[in-house]
Structure 1
Amino acid sequence: MTQTAHRYIFTSESVTEGHPDKLCDQISDAVVDHFVSLEPYSTVRCECAVSGAIIFIAAHFASSITVDFTHLARKVVKEIGYDQPDFNPKSCSILTSPRAEAVDPATHFDEYTLTDVQIEAIPAKNQVTVFGYAVNESPVLMPLPIYMANKLTRRLTHARKQKILPYLMPDAKVQVGVQYERWTPKRIHSLTLEVQTRTMGKPDADTLKADLMEAVVTPVFENLPVTPDGETVVHINPNGPYLGGPLYHSGLTGRKCAVDTYGEYARHSGKALSGKDPLRVDRIGVYAARYVAKNVVAAGLASACEIMVSYATGASQPVSILVNTFGTGTQPDGELAERLRSRFDFRPAGILKRFGLRQLPGKQAGGFFQKLSANGHVGRDDMDLPWEQTDMF
């Protein structure tokens, strides 16, 4: 199809929880969940790498509790579903490099009892520019390509774990191409699913395609206004049997920023979200920016909104807040930015207080941050996330 100024195709990718990068994200966030659920004042930075049957965990933390990193990693591998002879939770090798740091008394505060002066005294500990985005293209106000891609990866995992398609392996990749006309999604141009099966080449290509269409694609697009049609291009393992998992691809925490956010449809900070405690502004600032952008669109103040928030080390207030409604706003972007600044507290302790982030890991069985680390940190309709609420206006 020829691209014009008003007609184009946008494609976004997502990956399942068994993708090596996502395996690493989940191990890193399982560590965060463990520390914060047992001691909410804990600070932690955890990164993970995997290659072959070897997992490496590097963690810096300040906490009074202890953690068995090896046990947590094996638990995550088991939960994801890797049970092959050459990679499974019992036999994989795990190397750790933990570093305990002195506990910083400044992090031991009850955000719910802080005065404004005390909130102002708690600065950002690093510099970062974060982005939040929302657009009225999907039920959760996410760009349609990444919204559909994430729904497909969740459905693939469901079909595997519920043994609807028991031959599926944990690692899979999805691409969704959406055709737009005058900035409005009109149809699904293309779908690509790359899935690994337990036995290479089985089932055959035709059976695999039929199974995936029936058990994965059709249920995901049911009752949605934009669906595949007779001209939609569907690729299932277009390069032959897909070789996935850590035995074929290395993985690293934080390497799927676009999958975690907006599928490259909108900007993101480029910094990892997983593996960081709830006081890290490069993580929670993303959640805050998404919350504000979504509330702008939900309130009818714009049909699309991007929020950019920049933090400097040692300062609690953002050094800048930039709003872009792409010409769809009901008021000038500069005026809207001032309005948003007055209605939402972008300071790190203010974000903690608004979302209750330190308490969430202890309230939810199976962890909280680990669940975010696959299928997107924003735009989720399968989790009750405080930054997805539309209660600002």
Structure 2
Amino acid sequence: MNTPFLFTSESVTAGHPDKLCDQISDAIVDAYLTGDPGSRIIAEAAVSGGVLFLSARANSSTNVDLTGVAREIVAEAGYREGEFNADDCTVMLSQYALPNERHPRIDVRDLENGDVDDVVASQPATVFGYACDETPSLMPLPISLAHLLARALDSAVCAGQLESLGRDAKVQVGVEYADRAPRRIHSITFLTAQRTAEQPTPAQLRELLTDKVLVCLHDQALKQDDDTQLYINPEGVLIGGGPVVHAGLTGRKNAIDTYGEYSRHSGAALSGKDPLRIDRSGAYAARHAAKQVVAARLARHCEVQISYTVGRASPASVRVHTYGTGVVDDAEISRRLSEVLDFRPAAIAKRFDLQRLPLHRPGFYRALAVYGHMGRIDLDAPWERVDVADSIA
């Protein structure tokens, strides 16, 4: 029997400075891939005070108005007035070409099967994918609930139901476990930015969040109970929020992007990279593989680790860990996955059609940049589909 424990995960809203930078970076990726699916692009953003800094390196046949893209995202995130706003913020730009010999333009749809080995990992990477049976999306419950509440909070603000609040907020959810299964919601913490110190009062804010946000938990299998602790701005009122209060940077919320630290994840950012970058596409492939294992009922919990070496297409290793919940040996599950799934970079991009997703679904990668890259069944992310589970069962 496993010892009971408490686990917390957090999510942030679209106006959080780190997530603002992730959205800008992925909107740039969307723009390049829409104009040229073979584009190679690395885009990063940093924001502080009234200054937004963009670094973009690309090898592409298309041109992108980087400043225009950034200002559009800033406006959509709700920053239209004040010290930091879409129209008046200073945008500093560093833009140059990626070397063609290391990052050649490649549209994997044009590759013959024999050419897939020619697309190699351009950097060493170890990526992780995870799935479990705690939620319908096969995601850990704490991060799933944190995203649900953060999204509900942001939607209520955008809809004018919480006019006194800004777009910058953070939500943390604590879940109690016993026998490695979630038993109850222990705590919920909201850190929200207000427009003024006077309104709403702490009592009014608690009532608003209860009525407009916490109602989203009513449809969940695990709900609040009388002992669930609710914390709202426990350190005091936060005025304004956004970049004028704390700086933001692309790739600084990796746990929020993946599994809420319930499982291991790569230290590399997911946003701001074209899908031939193996630290991005490999993470999607690992999640897809782990999800097949749980869907096939080979295990209740599954982590897939894939390691890549520079200059090689095939991974150096594919390793499965089921935390003692597997019905067959972990090595056997790993063998089955490797037999059914191709983890080479070009094969992953081709299987999920990663380079053309923004063509079919405008703004696809930007949408991933907030509320998680994993578990996104709402976006029909291709790595979330359960399509080969029967082949490994």
TM-score, normalised to structure 2's length? Answer: 0.96
Give the match for residue 157 of structure 2: 160
After superposition, the C-alpha distances for 1:14-55 in whole angstroms (9 at most, x for unaligned) are 111111110111111111111011100110111110010100
Work out whether residues 63 and 103 of structure 1, in 8 Å CA contact, stay in contact via their aligned partners in 2: no
1:182 CA drift (Å): 1.1
Deviations 1:202-234 (A, max 9, x none): 111111111101111122x11222111110010
Q: Say which is worse superposed, 96-105 or 75-84, in terms of deviation.
A: 96-105
Match of 1:348 in 2: 345
Asked if the contact 1:8–1:179 (Cα under 8 Å) also holds between the matched residues in 2, the reply is yes
**Does the residue aligned with 2:128 lie in a helix, a strand or coil?**
strand
Matched, 1:13 2:6: no
The one of 58, 70, 87 aligned to 2:84: 87
More deviation, 124-133/200-209: 200-209
Matched, 1:378 2:391: no
Counterpart for residue 320 of structure 1: 317
Provide closer, same or farther for how the CA distance between residues 281 and 152 of structure 1 changes in structure 2, counting only shifts above 3 A: same
Q: CA deviation at 1:104?
A: 5.1
**Matched position secondary structure for 2:151:** helix
- Corresponding position of 2:230: 234
What is the CA–CA distance in structure 1 between the aligned matches of 2:66 and 2:204, rounded to whole Å?
Answer: 41
Q: Which amino acid in 1 is paired with 2:377?
A: D
The unaligned stretches of length 5 or more in structure 2 are: none
Q: Which residue of 360, 383, 389 maps to 1:387?
A: 383
Structure 2 distance, partners of 1:102, 1:66, is: 17
Aligned pairs (5 A) from 1:67-146: 67-103=64-100, 107-112=104-109, 114-146=111-143
| Cα deviations by residue, 1:241-277 (Å, 9 ceiling, x for unpaired) | 1242100101110000000000010000011000100
3-state SS of 2:212 partner: helix
2:73, 2:299 → 1: CA distance? 41
Query: Aligned runs of 1:41-56 on 2, under 5 Å?
Result: 41-56=38-53
Deviation of 1:278 after TM superposition, in Å, equals 1.1
Contact 1:260–1:373, Cα closer than 8 Å, also in 2: yes
Code of the aligned partner of 1:233: Q
1:58 corresponds in structure 2 to 55
CA distance in 1, matches of 2:198, 2:192: 11
CA shift, 1:382, in A, is: 2.2
Q: Residues 381 and 165 from structure 1, CA distance in 2 versus in 1: closer, same or farther, beyond 3 angstroms? A: farther
Residues 323, 336 of structure 1: 8 Å contact kept: yes
RMSD: 1.5
- Answer yes or no: is 1:368 the counterpart of 2:364: yes
Query: Number of paired residues?
Result: 388
List alignment gaps of at least 5 residues for structure 1. Answer: none
Alignment partner of 1:171: what SS?
Answer: strand
Shift of 1:89: 0.4
CA contact 2:39–2:106 (8 Å) conserved in 1: no
Matched with 2:201 is 204
One-letter amino acid of the structure 1 residue matched with residue 231 of structure 2: H
For the structure 1 residues 215 and 115, does the alpha-carbon distance in structure 2 shift closer, same or farther, using more than 3 Å as the test?
A: same
Partner of 1:334: 331
Paired residues of 1:39 and 1:65 also in contact (CA < 8 A): yes
Q: Which of 279, 282, 293 is the aligned partner of 1:282? A: 279
| Structure 2 Cα separation of the partners of residues 381 and 204 of structure 1 | 37
Amino acid of the structure 2 residue aligned with 1:98:
Q
Instruction: Give, in whole Å, the separation in 1 of the partners of 2:30 and 2:269.
Output: 16
Q: Is the 8 A contact 2:102 2:122 kept in 1?
A: no
